Amino acid sequence: MREHGHATHLAWGWLAAALALGAAPVVGAEPAGAGLPPLRWAADAEGGAPYIFNNPKDVNQYIGFEVDLARLLENELGRRIEFHQYAFKSLVAGLKRGDFDFAMNGLEITPDRLKAILFSRPYYIYSLQLVARADEQRFHSLAECPKAGVVVGTLEDTAAERLLDQMKIPKKIYDSQVEPYKDLGIGRIDAVLLDLPIAVYYARPDPKLKFVGPTVGEGYYAIGFRKDRRELAEQFDAALLRLAQRGDLRRVYEKWGIWNKDQEKLAQGEQINDVLRESGRLWTLGVYFPMLLDGARETIRITFCGMLLAMAIGLPVALGRLYGPLPVRAMATIYVEFFRGIPVLLLLYFLYYGLPEIAATWELRFSLRLGPIQAAVLGFGLNYAAYEAEIYRAGIRSIPVGQWEAAASLGMSRLLTFRRIILPQAVRVILPPMTNDLVALFKDTSVVSVIAVVELTKQYQILAKSSLKYLEIGLATAALYLIMSVPLGHLSRYLEKRWGRGT
Amino acid sequence: MNESLPVVIDNLGKRFGPRVVLDGVSLAVAAHETVAIIGPSGGGKSTLLRCVNGLAGFDQGQIRVGPYTLGPGTNHQRASGVRHVRRLLGMIFQDFQLFPHLTALENVIEAPLHVLKQPRAQARRRGLELLARVGLADRAEAHPRELSGGQKQRVAIARALAMDPRGLLCDEITSALDPELKSEVLTVLEALKRDGLTLLVVTHEMGFARRAADRVVVLDEGRIIEDGPPGQVLDHPQMPRTQRFLSQVLA
């Protein structure tokens, strides 16, 4: 990142000149852009503070430095700006689709995005802040991290992630900016590297955490436009430059506590140049496919371990429901109803984020801190066990009572009868629907990205966002899913045909 | 008791809710005796056999099989007497109830292997003998779905014999069979009688009752209304209800 900063100064000079000539008359002549429809601004309020978020005092209202900035731009452009909620991950795709006029949401200028969309001049120059637990002694800067062998959390597809990759520091990728600090607090990871505004807002107030070392790297938040909206982009450029030179930006940033010396460059009339673009990697099949395979391996692991666990828990639950005394029967029924009735996503959140909190609240001697894979396998195991229990139960009940009687008349005990006569027959009824569930579970595993597991779907999201090849990599991902799930489906139908005949 | 197995049913009573199924049934069966139980359906014949075998409980009276006694109560399956009684009396069902996942031979040796803990070689040898005895030596490796009804029922008989019972309880064992298949099963049964097994046979086959039974018992509305040698019961019934029943069956 640093070297880009130096290399770009030359180019910024003439761009600034071009802007000064081209941009000034556009806005100056039209005081009120009257008659034009409002500009549609997309951002993700879920992304959080301090960019744009729900006002805790009035949740129907949005606040944040980008909201303030949007108001300044409204005045400057003489046009109303309308906020539209849009998933951060899809902002670039949404721009390309033409769902809105511009995206302003801490969107960094990256080589890959430059290929896809147009950026305004930066409105904020951010750096990255390393945060660790207050009692951390093993490292005192990002540079010491590789030696200390620590794991650093960050958000995916950010400058921070790329910097960690460059320095070969083990990383853990999160979806939103709250979770990494949470995991840091409970010790799942050793540090968090994120944009300074995020650190200022989420980590600084937390007494358990501390800032480590100076800020590193440098990146630019800019407003994104569709490629063919160059004229609009130039209006924004001129407006932003005026806001910076008049000190309006500084006032906003000081209000939100994110002003620093770096921001002085914003008023220098410089422009980011295209050097960034050249460093863009070419995402070919050979580059992304091995990464997809890594994701697929994780998907398979979670699927099979989860299913084995579900089958192991499901059998005693089914037997409890069928043959247990009343209290056991009731407990087994509650188990089935409970785990069938709650979304697996909620269960995963609880196991991964909730359990450690319980341990902390009750001051248990053990931490209850599950790894992401463990939490995923346990979550799916518990959830699917409810379904498998019902499949076992239906399978066992499908065996006529006469079989029990015939075995009893031969002097066989109930346990022996179950093991030797009932179960072997029930398996033929049980296996086809169970194989079906295996296919379902296989696809359900795509939700585990919420607990920081990078499986096939998550890997796809990451790659697609980095490369903007949503379609191509999407097709490759779908092909991988199909290669695995179609044979399983056939196995299920084969078993049904082979064993469905019964006596 | 080695050679003698008296089955004594004493004042047996059983009801399903308000409905009286068995209403004070008393019946003594001597060793080696063959008793045919006939009567209209719903008269309690099958229930009586299931009580003797402990598959059904009863509300009053008692059943003695050799030295073992079964008393009233619904938890019969668990009473230790039941296990002994089942060792002495095998049971054959109307719908065969072979184990469909096992071959004919495996059906026969399942209980000897896992209940009697016989060595596999010995159980197999004996199983093949028994299959030969019911005329199925060449079907040992067939699965039940590959057998005809008559063959299935003969495997079921071999399976019961494998536990070396003193007697058999036969619950309408030819009712599910086509007429031409009934005789192959009844022939086996007659051979077993000659070998000295005690047989309690619930049946609608009057020909078999006349030919093979030492005694014929008529069970109607939960009561024994007629009991005597086949010639007497079948040809000179005393009760009008028996006469009506016989005229319907023989018509």
How many domains does chain B contain in total? 1
Q: Which residue range(s) make up the domain with B236?
A: 7-96+170-250
Q: Which residue of A has its CA nearest to B91?
A: A409
ipTM over 0.90: yes
User: Do A317 and A168 have their domain in common?
Assistant: no
Q: Which residue of A has its CA nearest to B95?
A: A402
User: Do A181 and A81 have their domain in common?
Assistant: no
Distances in Å between the Cα of A439 and the Cα atoms of A217, A434, A458 are 45, 9, 18
Chain B residues whose beta carbon lies within 8 Å of the beta carbon of residue A428: 101
What pLDDT digit, counting tens, does each position of B70-89 carry?
888 755 555 678 888 998 99
Identify from B101, B118, B148, B163 which residue to disrupt to test chain A contact, counting A C-beta atoms within 10 A and taking the largest count: B101
Query: What's the CATH number where A139 sits?
Result: 3.40.190.10
Residue A365 CB burial class (10 angstroms; 0-12, 13-18, ≥19): exposed
What's the mean pLDDT in B125-149? 94
β-strand B198-202 against B167-171: which pairing, if any? parallel
Instruction: Tell me, yes or no, if A500 comes closer than 8 A to chain B by beta carbon.
Output: no
Indicate the average pLDDT of chain B.
90
Chain B residues whose beta carbon lies within 8 Å of the beta carbon of residue A401: none
To which residue do tokens 């008269």 refer? B43
Chain A residues whose beta carbon lies within 8 Å of the beta carbon of residue B54: 408
Q: Looking at the domain assignment, is residue B151 inside a domain?
A: no
Q: Which residue range(s) make up the domain with A489?
A: 285-499
A321: tokens are 């429901």
Non-local CB neighbours of A48 within 8 Å, separated by 6+ positions: A176, A177, A178, A198, A201, A202
Closest to B89 in 3D by CA, of B117, B65, B57, B115 = B65
* C-alpha–C-alpha distance, residues B175 and B219, integer Å: 18
pLDDT the model gives residue B103: 95
User: Do A477 and A375 have their domain in common?
Assistant: yes
Q: Looking at the domain assignment, is residue B182 inside a domain?
A: yes
Q: Do B86 and A424 touch (CB under 8 A)?
A: no
Which of helix, strand or coil describes residue A119? strand
Instruction: Tell me, yes or no, if B78 comes closer than 8 A to chain A by beta carbon.
Output: no
Query: Considering only A462-471, B15-24, B140-149, which range has the smallest mean pLDDT?
Result: A462-471
User: Do A149 and A296 have their domain in common?
Assistant: no
Q: Which of A254, A278, A302 is the last residue of a domain?
A: A278
Q: Looking at the domain assignment, is residue B69 inside a domain?
A: yes
β-strand B60-65 against B7-16: which pairing, if any? antiparallel
* C-alpha–C-alpha distance, residues B63 and B77, integer Å: 14
- How many Å separate Cα B103 from the centre of its chain? 23
What's the mean pLDDT in B25-29? 94
pLDDT the model gives residue A6: 38
Model pTM? 0.65
Chain B residues whose beta carbon lies within 8 Å of the beta carbon of residue A405: 55, 93, 97
The DSSP code for B119 is: -
Instruction: Tell me, yes or no, if B167 comes closer than 8 A to chain A by beta carbon.
Output: no
What pLDDT digit, counting tens, does each position of B37-57 carry?
999 888 899 999 999 998 988
Identify from B97, B98, B110, B164 which residue to disrupt to test chain A contact, counting A C-beta atoms within 10 A and taking the largest count: B97
Task: Read off the pLDDT band of B4 (50, 70, 90).
Answer: low
Q: Looking at the domain assignment, is residue B56 inside a domain?
A: yes
Q: Looking at the domain assignment, is residue B18 inside a domain?
A: yes
Closest to A372 in 3D by CA, of A151, A148, A207 = A151
Q: Which of A259, A278, A297 is the last residue of a domain?
A: A278
Q: Quick one: which H or E segment has residue A163?
A: helix A159-166
Instruction: Tell me, yes or no, if A501 comes closer than 8 A to chain B by beta carbon.
Output: yes
Non-local CB neighbours of B129 within 8 Å, separated by 6+ positions: none
Q: Looking at the domain assignment, is residue B208 inside a domain?
A: yes
To which residue do tokens 């049964």 refer? B189
Query: What's the CATH number where A468 sits?
Result: 1.10.3720.10
Query: What's the CATH number where B196 sits?
Result: 3.40.50.300
User: Do A143 and A22 have their domain in common?
Assistant: no
pLDDT the model gives residue A257: 83
pLDDT lower than 50: segments of chain A:
1-32, 270-281, 501-503
pLDDT the model gives residue B6: 86
User: Do A54 and A106 have their domain in common?
Assistant: yes
Q: Looking at the domain assignment, is residue B110 inside a domain?
A: no
Chain B residues whose beta carbon lies within 8 Å of the beta carbon of residue A406: 91, 93, 97-99, 156
User: Do A363 and A418 have their domain in common?
Assistant: yes
User: Do A201 and A230 have their domain in common?
Assistant: no
Q: Looking at the domain assignment, is residue B165 inside a domain?
A: no
Q: Do B99 and A425 touch (CB under 8 A)?
A: yes
* C-alpha–C-alpha distance, residues A370 and A220, integer Å: 36
B75: tokens are 């938890």
- How many Å separate Cα A373 from the centre of its chain? 16
Distance from CA of B201 to the nearest CA of A (A): 16
Instruction: Tell me, yes or no, if A421 comes closer than 8 A to chain B by beta carbon.
Output: yes
Task: Read off the pLDDT band of B112 (50, 70, 90).
Answer: very high
Q: Do B55 and A409 touch (CB under 8 A)?
A: yes
The percent of residues in chain B predicted with pLDDT above 70, rounded, is: 96
User: Do A180 and A79 have their domain in common?
Assistant: no
User: Do A69 and A19 have their domain in common?
Assistant: yes
How many domains does chain A contain in total? 3
